[in-house]
Each structure stands twice: as C-alpha cells, then as structure tokens.
Amino acid sequence: MKDYYQILGVEKGASEDDIKRAFRTLAHKYHPDKKGGDEAKFKEVSEAYAVLSDKKRRAEYDTYGRTFSGAGQASGFGGFDFSNADFSGANFQEFDLGDIFGEFFVGMSGRGRTRRGRDISIDIELTFKEAIFGAERRVLISKVGECDICKGSGAKKGTAMRTCESCNGKGAVRETRNSFFGTFTSMRTCPRCKGRGEIPETPCEACAGEGVLRRQEEIVIAVPAGVSDGEMIRMPGRGEAAPGAVAGDLYVKLHVKDDAHFSREGSDLVTTLPIKLTDALLGGEYRIDTLDGEMTITVPAGVEHGEFIRVRGKGVPNGRGSRGDLLVRVHIEFPKKLSKEAKKLIEQLRIAGL
Ligand SMILES: [Zn+2]
Ligand SMILES: [Zn+2]
C-alpha cells in the first residue's frame, strides 16, 4: 500500500494548505516537461494529491487505507489507473493548473501554445541524372492555404479588425472540467477567433473571414544536386495553413530511377567497360560515356578483370563544391571461339612463356 503522506512528505494530520504546498513544490520538481523532471514521480505525487486533497477520499484512505469514491474506484485497491492518462508531450500542456501551480504554467496555455497547420507529404520521381545534378519541379498541390485576398487576416479589404469578445482578445477561453486530479480549469483555443484574439469587422468574402481556404497551389521544389533515392526534402511552412497558427511543413519524398549504365556508391559513380583481351595485355584507349558526355580514357597495359579505373571529378556532387569520381570497372571479354589463325598466334604466346 502506498503511503500518500510519505509521498508528499507531510504528517498524517497535515492541513489542506500543507498538502497543497507540498504538492506544488514536488510537482514543480518532477514535472515531466521540465528539465530533470521525473514522470513516474510526478504521477505518484499527483495520485497522492488527488486523494489527500479530497476530503471524502482522504477520510476513506485514513480509515481503510484505500479509497472507494472518485476516480480511484475503477482500478480497485490502492490507487488509480493512470494508463489512459497521457502526461507526456503536448497533451499535458492542455492542463492549466492555474491556482495550484501559479506562475509555472503561465505561457504554456492559451496563446503561448504552439498550434500548427497540417504537414503534407508528396512524392516525386527523378531521373538518375536529375538526382545527381539537381532539378526543379513544379507541382500543383491542393491544400489549405492563406487567403490571397485578405492575406490571412480574414477581414474584407479596407476594413478593420476588432477584439474578439468571446475571449477578450486573449485567444483562449477557460474551461472547467473534472478529472481524476479533481476539478481543473483548462485553457482552450477560442473557437470564435481561432486563437487570434481578434476578428474581422467585415469578413473577407473569398474565405468567409477564415483567413485560409482550400485551393490549388503551385509549389516550386528545388531538388539539390547529389540527392539519393528515398531522401526527404522538408520545406518548412509550405504545408497547410491554419487560422491563427503557423503553417505546417511540406515533405517531399524523392524516388530516383535506376540508370542502365551507371550506379551509385556514395558520391562515386560506377560503370562497366568491356575491353578486348589484347587491350588488357597491351593497353589501349576507349571512349566512355560519362554524365557530362563522352570522353576518352586510357586502359593501362596489364589491367586485370574487375579492376577499376578512376576518373576524377566525374561523379556525384557532394554539396561542398566538389564531385566524387567515376569508377570504370574493367570487364575483359575473353574470346569464346578462336580462329585457326588466332589459335596459332596464341600458341606462340605459350611458347614465349605467357
Ligand atoms: Zn480572405
Ligand atoms: Zn476569441
């Protein structure tokens, strides 16, 4: 059985004020949104406070060592079921513990809360060469965007904004509700002004005063040089707009098509060059394709099958102003059939000890 008094560090006969004070101190200390906070401890402290701050439940706890009324009831002996309660991240910031925490929650609720428009993601396909040298794509996206006519204000051109009467310009309204902690006052984004604190005197006709509307928008995506298949480009603020909030982000997923001649290995490109056996022995010159056009390379005498010839600077741009290399894999084509003539010559090579 948990000792709620011990958890809060108070005496059995502690006054309501003592309990409140103890809880406030410990909740400050352990709040999971705080640096060095401890979620488990915070839950424990909150659970203790929920019981000891409630006269009826405290009496039950004092007498029977458990509570029968309130939220604790559902989970049976010894406490509460916190499994459905989300203390982590943004959800918890919805609470405004106002009179309990005092200044601690100022700035976490109401207008201070970050609201964002929806993120959107699109896929685009690139050729092998586009992925290496970069490309520009224009895509038409249907999304909720800022109204062009009123520039997001929601007001008809030439008309003024006035303070929202629902929230007195605060952008948020108080809402009282019950939870297992007891009664809470939470701050909700004002439904009337959507958190902006002001509303248009005369609404913009294009967007009905919303400041945003669903429309087609052409977005220019500049794909940088040297991207790989599966890579994601994030374009901040190019997602959906939301009234009175910052726009979401646009994520562009890149799909790079394979190439018949080249493959990539980091910032290097790999290609295969078939050469004749005689050129492997004596050396020779070959025309090869690169992404920058054709060029001649020298195959050194005595090159081995599978050996790489490195052509500097003909690979993938690395984003720091230089490029990787082109690696030419030598593929020696051994003749499958030899003419009588050739056979004779090669037998002479054997005699020569090769
Ligand atoms: Zn408008
Ligand atoms: Zn309002």
pLDDT score of 181? 64
Q: Which ligand is nearest to the CA of 191?
A: 2
How many angstroms does the Cα of residue 208 sit away from the middle of ligand 1? 7
Residue 201 is labelled as binding a ligand: no
The string of pLDDT tens digits covering residues 309-333 is: 999 999 998 878 889 999 999 999 9
Supply the pTM of this predicted model: 0.54
pLDDT for 103 equals 32
**Which residues have CB under 8 Å from 19's CB, separation 6+?**
8, 10, 49, 52, 53
pLDDT of residue 235: 93
Q: Is 328 annotated as a binding residue?
A: no
For ligand 1, the distance from its centroid to the CA atom of residue 199, given in whole angstroms, is 12
List, for residues 187-224, the tens digit of each pLDDT value: 888 888 888 888 999 999 999 988 899 988 899 999 99
Q: Which residues are registered as beta bridge partners of 101?
A: none
Indicate which ligand has the atom closest to the C-alpha of 167: 2
Compute, in angstroms, the gap from residue 158 CA to the centroid of ligand 1: 12
CA dihedral angle for residue 97, residue 103, residue 105, residue 109, rounded to 10 degrees: 100
Q: Which has the closest alpha carbon to 131: 252, 254, 313, 250?
A: 254
Ligand nearest the Cα of residue 205 is 1
The CA distance from 280 to 47, in Å, is: 81
Residue 193 known to bind ligand: yes
How far, in Å, are 13, 57, 107, 183 from residue 99 at the CA level?
Answer: 23, 21, 15, 11
Q: Which domains does the chain have, with CATH numbers?
A: 4-93 (1.10.287.110), 120-256 (2.10.230.10), 263-351 (2.60.260.20)
Give the rounded percent of residues in the chain with a pLDDT score beyond 70: 85
Whether the pLDDT of residue 136 is over 90: the answer is: yes
Q: Residues 15-65: pLDDT tens digits?
A: 989 998 898 888 888 887 777 788 888 888 888 888 888 888 888 888 877
Kindly tell me if the per-residue pLDDT of 112 is higher than 70: no
